[in-house]
């Protein structure tokens, strides 16, 4: 009986360890904030929308680092 309990505990531990690895590899789904800056999908789309709304275009140039 003792052997059976020990084996079960080991199995749970090993399974948890694998689950932990999987969680690390697959990022958890991000949460979409209630509000955020909406970015145009293309320059042409930005110009078309800006003309229709009669508003300026904010062009943000960035690098990763």
Partner 1 sequence: MDGSVYPNKDVIVASKTVVNIFCNNETEHQAKKKYGSEEWCEANYGQICDEHVANHNKTSSMFFNGTIPNPTSILCTPDGKEITRKKGGISGKELIDMMKEATAKVGAGIGQDEYLFGKGKLKAAADAVGAKKMKDAIEALNAITKAFGKNAAAKPLNDQAQAKLKELNDAGMAIIEAAKADAAADKVEDARKALKDVYANYKGLECSKVAEKEMAALPKAK
Binding site for partner 1 (CB under 8 A): 27-33, 35-43, 46-47, 49-65
What's the min distance (Å) between Cβ of 26 and partner 1? 8
CA–CA distance, 3 with 6 (Å, rounded to integer) = 5
43 CA to centre of own chain: 25
CA–CA distance, 13 with 16 (Å, rounded to integer) = 5
Nearer to partner 1, 13 or 42 (CB): 42
Q: State both tokens at 5.
A: 């309990």
Nearer to partner 1, 2 or 22 (CB): 22
Nearer to partner 1, 18 or 61 (CB): 61
């Amino acid at each position: 009986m003792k052997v059976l309990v020990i084996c079960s505990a080991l199995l749970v531990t090993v399974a948890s360890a694998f689950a932990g690895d999987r969680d690390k590899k697959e990022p958890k789904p991000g949460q979409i904030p209630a509000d955020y800056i909406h970015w145009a999908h293309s320059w042409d789309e930005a110009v078309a929308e800006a003309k229709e709304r009669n508003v300026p275009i904010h062009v943000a140039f960035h690098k990763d680092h």
